[in-house]
Amino acid sequence: MTTSEDRSMLLPIEPLDRVLGDRTARSFAKNLGLGTVSDLLMHFPRRYSTRGELTPISEIPLGEPATVVADIVEVRERRMKGRSGSILEVRITDGHGFMTLSFFNQSWRQKELRTGARGLFAGKVSSYQGKLQLAHPDYELFPEEISDEDAKRWADLPIPIYPAASSVTTWAIQRSMAVVLDTIGPIQDELPVEVVELNRLLSLDEAIRNIHRPEKHADWQAARETLKFHEAFALQATLLLRRAENQHIKATPRVAGAGKLLEQFDDSLPFKLTNGQISVGQEIAADLGKSHPMNRLLQGEVGSGKTLVALRAMLTVADSGGQSALLAPTEVLAAQHYRSIEKTLGHDLAKELGLTLLTGQMNTADRKRAMLQLVSGKARVVVGTHALIAEKVEFLDLGLIVIDEQHRFGVEQREALRLKGKQPPHVLTMTATPIPRTLAVTVFGDLDISTLTELPAGRQGISSHVVQLSQPALVARTWQRIAEEVAKGRQAFVVCPRIDEDDPGEELIESGGAAEDELTFLDGTDAQAADFAKKPKQLLASALGMTESLRKVPSLNGLSIETLHGRMTSEEKADVMARFAAREIDVLVSTTVIEVGVDVPNATVMVILDADRFGVSQLHQLRGRVGRGGNPGLCLLLTSAEDGSLALERVNAVAKTLDGFELSEIDLELRREGDVLGQSQSGGRSSLKLLRVLHDAKLIQDVRGQVEAILSADPTLEKHPNLAEALARQDQDRQAYLAKG
Ligand code: ADP
Ligand code: MG
């Protein structure tokens, strides 16, 4: 590496409009979220179509994607029969056979699809009235004066297929990419030259150019490996730097003892702490006693007693006179935590601590009162939702933030809360979606990690079974099982993916996420997306509809069946939960609002409808609501997924094991990585693109070692200005993203 580095030669971050013009830039920003030249260059092809294996039209298999080189021989437009709209039909030939392209209501394409033009046409081939047809194919026309030889060369080039949007096609992206690549000078590597050499990487410049404009397949393959390495490197450098920075931030040490609150609490516990709870408790106590903030992740199965560990940490802080905030992802969960903490603490201790609840749906008077408790320092333990982050909420001396459920709080929210302390508070994050330790270190590399592996003694376990809707006898048996449990004095949950017919069911499976919905990927082979699309949303079970239906099921006659969902007010929700806890309700039909933490030990059976619509970890979380008391739990996963489908496979996987680690691996495989990392690491747009946390675990581990070596020799990256600059830019990107949203 030379000392005269030109920083302008790192990935250019100038706005796209300077290179592509206003209109294109606006459209790219709106439809693809790409704002800068760097954004565009980092928008990688999803796959490459194989031109070398172009199929002659006469041999094209029906129903499969194919690309042909052909000439347009005829173009005509006709009105649709029986309804409004037009069809543009374009007949093409490759000299061996004929095929018709059809476009609905896209008359304007006549301007470019003219008789005599030659190009590449890609799509899925079907047969219509005995004729081969490509509906809405992708195409790219050759320049008019192309020679046969050039056409051959063209045909051998791998075609990058980009994640596109309906209004920005993959070809449009490809064209703009070419403009950008031709405009910019060589891109400077941010990696130290030794790293590039040691790992036999391409230069960044070559990698970027080759991933977008490969001349052969080996080009983009090598480019991907290099860019993947860059991603792993940036991720680990960010995490390790963050971790190092944390050591320099001052925090108030919090040591138990003075107030004797923890001691008092431990003495009053009706059970013995598990060994895990003891040792994790010690780790946390040691962290809290240090003069820089704790940043710890506590992983543990549902029911492993994490909340209790957190509560003991809060008591430690209270002992030293500080305040703690427990942040829950939903209103129901916050209220539930509040009640169960109150119960666990006992009336006197709860009062002494000024235990307070603060949620967004509380009425103004209650909220004001709660906020006063916080700012005066009277409340030493507060439980709440996002409302705790609201600007107006102030603490007297916030010492500890406990975040329940890692996945749901982004870094921006954690940052906002951190700023509430006079000095940054200690942070404990809890997750019931544990991942293997080796993996956790690489993914949550800025956090220290504690894991609770054992469940408290006396747990009876949960058995899970899949019930396919195609077996009506089993479905009837499902309702009967509920009746049997209720007859024994137990209670049941019935979980539905939607509230009512109007509810789009936004709580659905994370992997089907909105981003994928919006983007029309041209290869359409994503098995999961296909699975996901199978069942129209209007057919999904809804909590309100199900409540009505269950009330009519003969075997459930006379049972008290009520509904709980996210559109109810917090009073309504609290009321239903309280009545369920008091056994006034036998069957609670709900949405995933009960997903985490809801603790009614008397509930022994859970039926999950359209189980295939939920994520693996989500199902695991849900079923953790039963089998919490002294009685075994039963979870019945109802699904209309068909034999052999990926959806059924996923549900079967959940039924087969209770091991959260195993399930989270399955989940990791199925989910997009951005979700895995949470917003905390991915920070929206700068989320991982090529790196797959599970698949590339070895690479990530290896890279981490290399980054550690560099940072130990050069902790502030003084000698690696390019790397420092690139990381700073990513950080800015993340900040900008956070500021927006
Ligand atoms: P998690 O948050 O990990 O899902 P909780 O902390 O909510 O688990 O604990 C689940 C239940 O187990 C609670 O009712 C809690 O009081 C109880 N519990 C926690 N620790 C123990 C223990 N050591 N022995 C017996 N019961 C325990
Ligand atoms: Mg919990």
Q: What is the pLDDT of residue 406?
A: 59
Regarding the beta carbon of 431 and ligand 1, being less than 6 Å apart is answered: no
* Rg of the chain, C-alpha, whole Å: 29
Q: How many CA atoms lie within 13 A of 686 on its CB side?
A: 25
Nearest residue (CA) to ligand 1, atom 15: 305
φ/ψ bin of 405: left (φ > 0), alpha (ψ from -120 to 50), beta (otherwise): left
CA nearest to 310, candidates 335, 347, 277: 277
- What separation in Å is there between the alpha carbon of 544 and the centre of ligand 2? 27
Residue range of the domain that includes 279 = 261-452
- What separation in Å is there between the alpha carbon of 456 and the centre of ligand 1? 7
Atom of ligand 1 nearest to the CA of 311: 6
For ligand 1, pick from 275, 299, 306, 307 the residue to mutate: most ligand atoms within 8 Å of CB.
Answer: 307
Q: Is 243 exposed, middle or buried (0-12, 13-18, 19+ CB in 10 A)?
A: middle
Taking the CB of residue 548, how many other CB atoms lie within 10 A of it? 12
Residue type, 640: S
Give residue for tokens 């500890």.
400
CA nearest to 223, candidates 209, 240, 235: 209
- What separation in Å is there between the alpha carbon of 430 and the centre of ligand 2? 8
Atom of ligand 1 nearest to the CA of 404: 2
Regarding the beta carbon of 455 and ligand 1, being less than 6 Å apart is answered: no
pLDDT digits (tens, 9 = 90+) for 268-304: 999 999 999 999 999 999 999 999 999 898 988 777 8
State whether 284 and 412 are in the same domain: yes
| CA 111 to chain centroid | 42
Tally of domains in the chain: 4
CA distance 649 to 348: 50
pLDDT digits (tens, 9 = 90+) for 474-512: 999 999 999 999 999 999 999 998 898 777 653 333 333
Q: In sequence order, which residues have a C-beta less than 8 Å from that of residue 502 and are 6 or more positions away? A: none
Query: Strands 587-590, 561-564: parallel, antiparallel or unpaired by DSSP?
Result: parallel
Please identify, among 610, 641, 657, the residue that sits at the C-terminal boundary of a domain. Answer: 657
Percent of the chain with pLDDT over 70: 83
- pTM reported for the whole predicted model: 0.65
CB 189 within 8 A of CB 161: no
Q: In what order do the strands lie in the sheet with 561-564?
A: 462-468, 633-639, 603-608, 491-495, 587-590, 561-564
Helix (H, G, I), strand (E, B) or coil at 297: strand
Taking the CB of residue 20, how many other CB atoms lie within 10 A of it? 22
CATH number, domain of 129, equals 2.40.50.140
Can you tell me the mean pLDDT for 595-613? 84
Q: In sequence order, which residues have a C-beta less than 8 Å from that of residue 97 and are 6 or more positions away? A: 56, 57, 58, 60, 132
Regarding the beta carbon of 304 and ligand 1, being less than 6 Å apart is answered: yes
Q: What is the pLDDT of residue 5?
A: 40
Q: In sequence order, which residues have a C-beta less than 8 Å from that of residue 164 and are 6 or more positions away? A: 32, 170, 172, 173, 519, 520, 521, 522
Q: Does pLDDT of 166 surpass 70?
A: no
Assigned domain for 334 exists: yes
Assigned domain for 11 exists: no
Average pLDDT, the chain: 82
Assigned domain for 143 exists: yes
- Tell me the sheet residues that pair with 297: 429, 449
CA distance 679 to 665: 19
Atom of ligand 1 nearest to the CA of 596: 4
CATH number, domain of 571, equals 3.40.50.300
DSSP symbols for 13-74: --BTHHHH-HHHHHHHHHHH---BHHHHHT---SEEE-GGGPPPGGGPPTTSEEEEEEEEEE
State whether 522 and 651 are in the same domain: yes
Q: Does pLDDT of 73 surpass 60?
A: yes
Assigned domain for 591 exists: yes
Assigned domain for 170 exists: no
CA distance 432 to 451: 10
Q: How many CA atoms lie within 13 A of 522 on its CB side?
A: 30
Q: Does pLDDT of 70 surpass 80?
A: yes
Regarding the beta carbon of 505 and ligand 1, being less than 6 Å apart is answered: no
Can you tell me the mean pLDDT for 719-725? 92
Regarding the beta carbon of 451 and ligand 1, being less than 6 Å apart is answered: no
Please identify, among 400, 424, 452, the residue that sits at the C-terminal boundary of a domain. Answer: 452
State whether 229 and 337 are in the same domain: no
Q: pLDDT confidence of 411, banded at 50, 70, 90?
A: low
Q: Does pLDDT of 683 surpass 90?
A: no
- What separation in Å is there between the alpha carbon of 595 and the centre of ligand 2? 10
Regarding the beta carbon of 271 and ligand 1, being less than 6 Å apart is answered: yes
CA angle 25, 28, 29 (to 5 degrees): 85
CA angle 570, 304, 659 (to 5 degrees): 110
CA angle 522, 526, 531 (to 5 degrees): 125
The H or E element containing residue 309 is helix 306-319
CA nearest to 641, candidates 539, 542, 543, 549: 539
Atom of ligand 1 nearest to the CA of 302: 4
CA distance 44 to 227: 10
Q: What is the pLDDT of residue 509?
A: 34
State whether 481 and 508 are in the same domain: yes
Six-digit token pair at 548? 């009505």
Nearest residue (CA) to ligand 1, atom 18: 305
- What separation in Å is there between the alpha carbon of 303 and the centre of ligand 2? 6
How far, CA to CA in Å, does 330 sit from each of 122, 258, 405?
Answer: 46, 34, 10
Can you tell me the mean pLDDT for 566-572? 85
Can you tell me the mean pLDDT for 419-447? 75
Q: What is the pLDDT of residue 489?
A: 95
Q: In sequence order, which residues have a C-beta less than 8 Å from that of residue 444 and are 6 or more positions away? A: 239, 297, 406, 680, 681
Atom of ligand 1 nearest to the CA of 272: 23
State whether 558 and 592 are in the same domain: yes
State whether 437 and 491 are in the same domain: no
How far, CA to CA in Å, does 545 sit from each of 241, 413, 472, 586?
Answer: 51, 35, 19, 17
Torsions phi, psi of 15, nearest 5? -60, 150
State whether 468 and 542 are in the same domain: yes
State whether 561 and 470 are in the same domain: yes
Least confident among 314-328, 596-610, 687-701: 687-701
Assigned domain for 208 exists: yes
For ligand 1, pick from 308, 309, 429, 599 the residue to mutate: most ligand atoms within 8 Å of CB.
Answer: 308
State whether 624 and 741 are in the same domain: no
Assigned domain for 67 exists: yes
State whether 435 and 567 are in the same domain: no
How far, CA to CA in Å, does 303 sit from each of 467, 476, 495, 581, 599?
Answer: 25, 30, 19, 17, 9
State whether 105 and 135 are in the same domain: yes
Regarding the beta carbon of 36 and ligand 1, being less than 6 Å apart is answered: no
Helix (H, G, I), strand (E, B) or coil at 446: coil
Regarding the beta carbon of 137 and ligand 1, being less than 6 Å apart is answered: no
CA distance 678 to 687: 9
Can you tell me the mean pLDDT for 597-626? 86
Regarding the beta carbon of 296 and ligand 1, being less than 6 Å apart is answered: no
Assigned domain for 652 exists: yes
Structure-model confidence comparison of residues 424 and 406, the more confident one:
424
CA distance 670 to 615: 9
Q: pLDDT confidence of 171, banded at 50, 70, 90?
A: confident
- Tell me the sheet residues that pair with 119: 70, 141
pLDDT digits (tens, 9 = 90+) for 19-63: 999 999 999 999 888 999 999 999 999 888 765 456 678 887 777
CA distance 656 to 544: 30
Give residue for tokens 């009505």.
548
Nearest ligand, measured from the Cα of 333: 2
Please identify, among 657, 673, 707, the residue that sits at the C-terminal boundary of a domain. Answer: 657
State whether 396 and 544 are in the same domain: no
Structure-model confidence comparison of residues 85 and 603, the more confident one:
603
CA distance 103 to 659: 50
Q: Does pLDDT of 386 surpass 70?
A: yes
